[in-house]
Chains A and B, each alone.
Chain A
Amino acid sequence: MNLNLYLAQVNNINDPDKKGRIRVKIIPHLQEVADTDLPWAVPFSSSLSSSQMENDLPLVNTMIRVLVDNKWKRFYYLPNAYFYELFNFDNVSDKLPNDVSNKEYQYLSFKLYKDGGLEFHNNNSGDHGFIHKSGSYSIFDNDGNIKVDTKTSDMSIKCNGNTIESSSTSLIINGNLEILQ
C-alpha cells in the first residue's frame, strides 16, 4: 500500500466508537466535503497491544499531518504538524521553577498543554515533574527527592486512611503523629 503525506485540520476528536480516531479535513483535497462526511483517521503508530494502550488526541482545529493511501480509503494521522513560529521555548523555560537545574533547551523533553500545564523530563539532571498552570508543581529530582510547592491554599496527602491536609492557616494531621529523634 502506497501512502501519501498531506496536511489536515483536526475536525472532531470525539470518536463515537471511542477507538482513538479523529476526523480530519485534508486541505485542500477535502475542503468542500461536509464535516459529517469527513474521514476518520487512525493513529499511524501507537503502543497498542492486548494489555497496553494510549490516547493522546490532538486538539480540534490544529493542523496535523495525515497519510492517505492512493485510493483514498485509509487515513492515518501523525502528531501535529511543525510550524517554526509556533515553537517558542521561552513559553516553557519561563514556567520552570528554580528547583529545576540545567534548564537548557537541549536537555529538556517536555509537553506543554493547552491549559498551561507543563510536563517535563531533564535528560541531564534527571529531574522529572509536572508544573500546574497555577504554578504549583511536584518534581522528582535526580536523587529521588520529591519537591512539592503548592501556590494555592490547600494541599491534601492521603496514605492508608491517614491524611495530612494544609490550608493557608493550618496543618491538620488525621491519624497518629509520631515524631522520631
Chain B
Amino acid sequence: MSTYSNYEIAVKIDDKALDYPPTNYTFTLQDSIHTLYPTASFYFDDVGGLFNEFLTFINGTKMEITLGLPDDFIVCPYIIIKNSIPDQASTNGFGGVTNVSLVHEYMYEQSKKSRAFKDEITNIIKRIVKYSFKKMTLETTVNKGIWYQPFIYDTEFIINNMLPFAYSSTAKNTPYYCFINSNNEFNFVSYQHMFNNSNIMELKLVPSAITQSVGLDSVYSVFPIQSSISDIRSFLNTTQYSFDKNNALKIIETEISDYRGNNNKIPIRADLDNKTSINELYSNDCNDENIENNNKGLTLDYMRNIFTLDKVILVCNLNVKIVSGTKIKLGVPIATDNQKMESSLRYSGEYIVERSYHSWTSFGANSIIIASRNNITVPSTYLNSGVLL
C-alpha cells in the first residue's frame, strides 16, 4: 500500500502491487443499494503500450483497489470485464489511455446450480454465499417454504427468486435491498434497517471558500433532485389482488402515503383517488402461510422506488466511510428573511446513501454521494405544505 498526497491508494493486479505512480491512473469506485455488485472504472496512462502488450488488463484479470486516508480506507476486489484504448496517444507507435471496466470479483466466482432449499431466506444466503466478504449483514425474514434455483447463479437466485418476497415485521413495511458496497461488505437488509442505524455520518454544506471545507464532514455542493412524477406515478395508488382458498378475489389497496415514516409528508402532490396501477400477487388457494408472507413482501417490492424519491446529490471531500446503505444527517444552511443563516427545513435531515462514487485523479480525490428519503418535515406555513401527501 502506498500513501500518496495524504491519500491511501493501492492497486493490485493478480495480487501483485501495481508499481506505478498514482498520478498515471485515475479511477472511480461506484456502488448502489439498487444493484448487487459494486463497479469501478479505471483509466491507465499506458502511453508506450507496454502494459497492454504484456496482457496486464485482459478481461478476467483480478484487480484490487484501495482508496482512502491512511487511517481509514476501503479495499475491494474486482475483475476486469472490459478494456479498451479508444484514443491512441503515442506518436511513435501503439499506446494511450487504457479504459478498464471492473465489477466485483464475486460475480465471476460462481457457477450455475440446479437445487432446491426448504428454509428461511437469510439462512439460504448464509449457506450458498461462500465468498469471503469483509462483512455480511443479513436481516432475518419470515419467508420460508421451498425455493428453487433453476440452473442459475447464486446471486441471480438471491436477487430474482428470493429478494422480491423478503418480508419481516421488524422492517416496518419497507422493502429489502441486497447489495455489496465498495468496501466489500454484503448486505441483505430492509430500508428500515438502514434507517435504524445509530452510526450516523453527519455532513454539512460549507462554502468552499472557507477553511472548514477541508473537513471530512464538509459538503461542497448540494444538488436536490426528485424522481420524475411519471416514474413514480404507478406507485401512487396501487391495487394488488390475489385469490384465496375459496377462489374469492382478495384485494389489497395501498397509497403512497401508507409508506411514509413518522407522520411526515411525502414531497409531492397528487390526487390519490385515481388508481394508478394493478398488480397480481400469488393466489393462496391452499391457505399457505408462506404464500401469505411472500405476498406481503411482493407488495412492498412493487413500492420500492418510492423510498428513494426525494434525492440530493452531494459533492464532498473523499470520505470512504460513506458507501451505499450508510445513514447520513445533512445540514444545509439557508439565508432567511432577516439575513441570518438557518438550517434548511426542506433539505436538512436524515437520508440513506443510495449510490456513492469515490474518485481518485492526479488532482486529488473526492466523493459524490446520492442520498435519498421519501418523507420530510416542513412547517405548515410553507407553500404547498398543506397539499403534500
Residues of A contacting B294 with CB < 8 Å? 73
State whether the Cβ of A34 lies closer than 8 Å to any Cβ in chain B: yes
State whether the Cβ of A104 lies closer than 8 Å to any Cβ in chain B: no
A28–B114 CB distance below 8 A: yes
How many chain A residues touch B (CB < 8 A): the figure is 18
A72–B118 CB distance below 8 A: no
Nearest to B118 among chain A residues (CB) is A37
C-alpha spacing A39/B114, complex, angstroms: 13
Given contacts A1-B280, A70-B160, A72-B161, contact A32 B114 (CB under 8 A): yes
Stretch at the interface among B25-33, B144-152, B227-235: B144-152
State whether the Cβ of B116 lies closer than 8 Å to any Cβ in chain A: yes
- Give a binary string over B102-146; 1 marks a CB under 8 Å from any A CB, 0 the rest: 000000000001111010000000000000000000000000001
B27 to chain A, nearest CB (A): 36
C-alpha spacing A73/B293, complex, angstroms: 13
A39–B280 CB distance below 8 A: no
Interchain CB contact (< 8 A) of A74 among B161, B165, B282:
B282
B151–A29 CB distance below 8 A: yes
State whether the Cβ of A30 lies closer than 8 Å to any Cβ in chain B: yes
C-alpha spacing A37/B116, complex, angstroms: 7
- Give a binary string over A14-38; 1 marks a CB under 8 Å from any B CB, 0 the rest: 0000000000001011111110011
Interchain CB contact (< 8 A) of B150 among A1, A29, A34, A74:
A29
Q: Is the interface of B mostly helix, strand, loop or mixed?
A: strand
Nearest to B281 among chain A residues (CB) is A1
B114–A29 CB distance below 8 A: yes
B150–A30 CB distance below 8 A: yes
A33–B148 CB distance below 8 A: yes
Residues of A contacting B148 with CB < 8 Å? 29-30, 33, 39, 72
- Give a binary string over A53-95; 1 marks a CB under 8 Å from any B CB, 0 the rest: 0000000000000001011111000000000000000000000
Nearest to B151 among chain A residues (CB) is A29
Nearest to A2 among chain B residues (CB) is B280
C-alpha spacing A75/B113, complex, angstroms: 19
Residues of B contacting A28 with CB < 8 Å? 114, 151
28 contacts between A and B (CB under 8 A): A1-B282, A28-B114, A28-B151, A29-B114, A29-B148, A29-B150, A30-B116, A30-B150, A32-B113, A32-B114, A32-B115, A33-B114, A33-B115, A33-B116, A33-B148, A34-B116, A37-B118, A39-B148, A68-B150, A71-B160, A71-B161, A71-B165, A72-B148, A72-B150, A72-B161, A73-B161, A73-B294, A74-B282
Which residues of B are in contact with A by a Cβ distance under 8 Å? Answer: 113-116, 118, 146-148, 150-151, 160-161, 164-165, 280, 282, 294
9 tightest A-B CB contacts, nearest first: A29-B150, A32-B114, A37-B116, A72-B148, A33-B116, A29-B151, A1-B280, A71-B161, A31-B114
